[in-house]
Amino acid sequence: QDHCCLSKDPTPDDPRIIMSSASQSNSVVSLTPPDGASCWLCLEEGPDDSGAPLVRDCSCRGHSGFAHLPCLIQYAESKSRDLAERGALTLREFFQEKIFEQCPNCKQTFQGNIPYGMTTAQLAFFEREFKDVQSWQMGALMKRIHVLDGRKDVDRIEGEEICTKMLSLIDEMKKNSNLLDVILPVSVNKEIGRFNSEMGTKQCLEKAKYYLKKARDIMKTSEDCKPWAVELIEGEIAAVEARISGDSRPKKEESDLSSLRARYYYMLQMNGENDVGTMQVGTLLASKLFNAYHTIEASRLLDRLVIISCRVHGSYHKQTKIAESWRQRLQLRCAFIGSEQQPYQALRYEDDGDSCIVQGPVPKNVPRNDDDCQTFSVPSVEISFSLGTPVMLHGLKKAAHLNGEIGDVREYCKLSGRCVVHLEDKDLKPVKVKHENLRIVFDLPDPKNLD
């Protein structure tokens, strides 16, 4: 029996087990401008003359930060002209300013639909006024393709055109080595690979594999080669190869986790924990940890990310809501009763752990309605754990020193009938434990160390 009751490839918009309808409705927050809110640029309330509404998808709070998209575009274009007049024409210098990418007030990256409109305007503006500045052109093309969704027809057509333009522009920039940073071809090939991977056809996946391998090989020959970056690209290649072959999940999962951890810690050092990009990579890391049944590590990370995002960006921010949604999913404890194939949610223990209160059954692919669930008590010995369930060891005699240690159930050994538990204490080796010597951990205790 497979003790994992959840899908193996979750995404922030595709939970392993869909939350109850009540939880879902509570997670939707309206961003309708409050009464009296006005555009901080033109100072007008309500829609502008073209009908463009007030929007805000950054970290501003209260009445601040609302603006019309045309006003934001006009402001960004004006700032770009000022930067050009000061002679900052290199790709690195310009895009460090993030003029089209972040709110000038809270200095945080735009979220939601705003980047789609801003990147469209940025690309058109550069093609109109800075056509000869190849580095700016390339940067605008890369920003644009990054927000496109290869699964949508309109975006797919535009994205294919951008891929052709970027490859042509790289060839032009090679003629002037002063304009071509070795990292730029890596980034271009990665973006083309990512976009083709999104489109998902077998032909596109083969293209994705080709361009990702090209990015990896360029990175390997670079003097500025970062091993974690190479590992990350290799993980993307493995994921594409798995899709081509029809496998449900890529190989080298632990290697992929190591490279993603390295990327997250690198971004922590370079950009700090308050940066939206750092938080996004952290949330991605948590989702991959969850997928690999490292639930405790994922939960610790998400606890931290939610606290930081609430403090810096506020509870309404998209990143806060995504991280909080993931944290809610990780708090769900699923188990099986006897030989039943359908999972139940374990709620708590009673009678000194001899019985467990469960609720369910839990549906896999439809929203859960708590009114349709039954809540009842079952003997704890009849409970079997889903993979990834946090557990505590207890009642061990020969290895009494392990009693009280917590870890994740990563495997189930059919031969011995025991769970393979990877303990949170990294100094301890994984252990095979009988079900009766394990208890579900509903609330994680404070970590022994925070480093």
pLDDT at 132: 83
User: Percentages helix, strand, coil for the chain, rounded to the nearest 5?
Assistant: 50, 15, 35
Q: Which residues of the chain have pLDDT under 50?
A: 1-30, 250, 449-451
As to burial, measured by CB atoms within 10 angstroms (0-12 exposed, 13-18 middle, 19+ buried), residue 290 is buried
pLDDT at residue number 95: 67
Does residue 335 contact residue 440 with C-beta atoms inside 8 Å? Answer: yes
Query: What is the pLDDT, as a whole number, of residue 27?
Result: 33
Among all chains, which residue has been given the structure tokens 């469209």? 120
One-letter amino acid at 442 equals F
Report yes or no on whether pTM surpasses 0.75.
no
| Tokens at 71, concatenated | 């006003």
- 103-120 pLDDT tens trace: 999 888 898 899 999 999
Output the pLDDT for position 10.
Answer: 35
Q: What is the pLDDT of residue 438?
A: 95
- Buried-exposed string 204-215: b where 16+ CB fall within 10 A, e elsewhere: bbebbbbbbbbb
Q: Which pLDDT score is estimated for 257? A: 82
Supply the DSSP string of 133-188, one letter for each residue: -HHHHHHHHHHHHHH--TTSHHHHHHHHHHHHHHHHHHHHHHTSGGG--THHHHHH
